Amino acid sequence: MAIRTIIKEGDPILRKVCRPVTEFGEKLWTVLDDMADTMRSADGVGLAGPQVSFLRRVVVIDVGDEHGLYELINPEITYRSEETQHVQEGCLSCPNRWGMTTRPMRIDFKAQDRNGNWYEVKGAEGLLAQAVCHELDHLEGKLFVDIVEEWLEPEEEQAK
């Protein structure tokens, strides 16, 4: 396992649409393990493939709940609540930039695990819903800076 370099805003790789994962095995498992280590070492709650130069539909998320690490391969959001949450957001690829965004309060999603088995999560809410939406945006070449409604100054970020 290794800490990978996190690609920063301005690099064109972050604007590319990722391709589906079709091969499940050692190479993928190494990338997933490295992504989890990289995310944790950077104090993040999520990391998507393109942020570490891996242009496949792969995401890791850990919001610090009882579930622990989520590995999402070829993920899809299958439901978004009409009810929304106005949340503070940042990104490991956009250091020292914080802003307020609007995300669904609740979502359902499905994904494959590291072995290719499909699973579904229903009723993900709050930070998990926000993180899944944020990371899946990365897979489409979108960044949170594209949807920020209000930028926060560093001292405001501390207070939120």
Active site (catalytic) residues:
135
Q: Tell me how far apart the alpha carbons of residues 143 and 141 are, in angstroms, rounded to a whole number.
A: 7
Residue carrying the six token digits 């579904």 = 120
Helix (H) / strand (E) containing 74: strand 70-80
Q: Tell me how far apart the alpha carbons of residues 78 and 104 are, in angstroms, rounded to a whole number.
A: 12
Backbone φ, ψ for residue 38 (5° rounding): -65, -45
Q: Are 18 and 139 in contact (CB under 8 A)?
A: yes
Structural Rg of the chain based on CA atoms: 15
Q: Tell me how far apart the alpha carbons of residues 36 and 19 are, in angstroms, rounded to a whole number.
A: 20
